Structure 1
Amino acid sequence: MSEFFGAPKKSLPAPRSARFSGVALLGPALVAGVAYLDPGNVAANMSAGALYGYLLVWVIVAANTMAWLVQYLSAKLGVVTGRSLPEILGERIGHRWARRLYWLQAELVAIATDLAEIIGGAVALHLLFGLPLLLGGVITGAVSIGILAVHNRRGARPFEHTIVALMIIITAGFVAGLFIAPPDPAGIATGMLPRFTDSGSVLLAASILGATIMPHAIYAHSALTRDRFHAPTAMERQHPDATTPATTAAPSPVTAPAQRIRTLLRATRWDVTIAMVVAGSVNLAMLLLAAANLAGVDGTDTLDGAYHALADHLGPIIAVMFAVALLASGLASTAVGAYAGADIMHGLLHIRVPLLTRRLITLIPALAILAAGIDPTLALILSQVALSFGIPFALVPLLVVTAQRRTLGAFTNRAITTAVGALCAVLLIALNIALIVLTALGV
């Protein structure tokens, strides 16, 4: 690709554009995809399988299909513009109070996200080592600070490597049980038929959707691709006069070389596909594991109960792997959630709070819930329902800005893409309305 960007000077390594090929481009979607494997997903999927068997298999499949489109659009926004969705909305929402109210709902979503992740890590440490939940929450938060320090000191790539390593642990831990006790193929096929049985199944469906298509993942993915493909490298910051035009930061869709953007978008589609296949398979594995082994077993609608039931039915090794995966899930997802929350605040309020400082502040609500003794599994599921109500506030603006030529230039969404995205948004909003109505009627 040197014909597009010019030959690098001998005193410097090859410019980033020359390295924009193959597996070197993968990573941002895998980091964003950790949001799809957080402890809220574990609680929602295990509860769905234990309480309703294979009934909600179709919800996970549908959610993951919609998630592919959503995450690709978010990533494309960061690739083409060099800005995140919160940054663009911070510029477009002109009224100060409107921007603050929008930030408030996004911040509440970020808090709900962090709530699930810290609680999940605390529960995992309790299962593995018998630690009190409050102490487990403090340790989870402390380790997440260490993970974020990797991003602060080493940059995006080492941070991605850390998160992907945790994702491998998550995958192994949640999938292992299926090799010991495979699910029923007929049950899986029946579960692909869209239907509900009561308000409880609607509640869990909304929880699964909130845990799968997570608002903070929509915000974060555009920031991750911005940081990966548009932030100057350490060498470029040290030698700004030696960089070629291809290595300047944040090119606009008008000035950025079209071939470079197309290369990045092709890699991004692969990145998102791999991430969603992994996340979708693991989420489905959780539900199938519970449906095949925990259906009808008392107490399995909680993480603690599921852990002990797995130990009784599949052996202690599978149960320990489950708990280790839950811990890795909490550590990885809480780091990504803090990253997203910091970008939301900076983009919408133009306030830059140090990432580690923000991490300390956002620990408080989760630790307060743990200290109050509220059932952790219930808190996890309700946090995911709260996330499902935040989806439209992230998804609708994403569809609007990616459909505008002034935002993406020649890379604006096709009409069919916008139409499918709009259909997804309508379905999600309709499910939330149905949840409110059914719950109010006590159905």
Structure 2
Amino acid sequence: MSSTESKLTVQKSSDWVPKMLAWVDLKFDYFGYFTSQEIDYPSGGFHHVLYAGIKAVTLEQLDELPSDKPKVGILSYDQKNKYENLSSQNKAWISCPDSLFFSPELTILINKNELTIEGTSPDQILAEILNTQVSSERKTGDFTIDSSHDEESYKAIFKKIQGHILEGDIYELNYCMDFHGTVSHTEPINLFLDLCENSPMPFSALFKAANLYLCCASPERFLKKQGQTLLTQPIKGTIKRGKTQQEDEDLKKQLAESEKEQAENLMIVDLMRNDLARIAQTGSVKVEELFGIYSFKQISQMISSVICRLPPSIGFEEIVSQTFPMGSMTGAPKVKCMELIETYEKFKRSWFSGSIGYIDSNGDFDFCVIIRSLIIDRTKNSFYFGVGSAITIDADAKAEYQECLLKAASLIKTLENFYSNFNNPN
């Protein structure tokens, strides 16, 4: 903290978060708000914190930011093109930067009962936030939504991908479809708050970069570094929640005992073990938990945890260059899958299936996978999101298509609840 900055700790009121987000949206071009929604998660979720800044750089320019301050950033899936001989030529529904990082001019740390404002003139900041007017009334509006696939077109691509598996090109591929559309008016903060209510997740985040917004409700961690320990937690395996406690337990048991889901999960665990081994101290890569079952509001998922010990002095950019993107969003082998993804998917993933998070002043960091998330362009009143599932030789096209729709449900519900009129062009 510079000599002009100071701290102020105060009691938190119930309406603090909406007021804070509305105020920071008016004052800053860049901000990242992170919360775990107090959800129990192995090794914890995001800290509850807001960072706001005024200048952004690319990942390759990270050293230009102050070394004694946190760094907040986002990586597009297309950042992969800097690490492998790959390209991204598909249609971009919204043009997003490959990477963007900033250091905060303002930090607000939030816990259950109080919050701490760190920045210049925190008393004035507090007063302005408390005086910010947040209306409980929503404008009447409408939205349109379209998708890259119906069930038949999805099945056609599914069959081609399984052909590559039969030919020995790949073992598993995470194929994604997109939903995209327009809205009559753009309210990213209210959409994010509604999404948090519909789908509370341990890696919830609202990120602003000028006129672009990410409303993220992710259940999946990409990488977390604490000291010299690096953790990754791939997800493969999804099932709906039951309507009764018994049905829910039966469904979770079905997921836990599914040989297909275990096989998918294990392939990605092996992929991530190989990724970590590229940067880890020799012999330090370990599977901390295999096939853990964790439940969220809408779904239960199979999550594994892989850790390693890092050598001294390895930096964030080098770690990312050897591990990005998350293997659960590509498949195995990784590079061949990314080539086929470019061939068969109908949209440019951009921020979807990339990563967002923060690096503290000590170099520790926590980044999630951008899934179950809306990407919004305020200037065009447009949005898109992606959903996907793993295609293996044993997978069933109808079941995988339904899994994609299940993952899209909370996002579509958020849009339907927020806008009173809904129009599907199909």
**TM superposition score normalised by structure 2:** 0.26
* Larger relative strand fraction: 2
* Larger relative helix fraction: 1
**TM superposition score normalised by structure 1:** 0.25
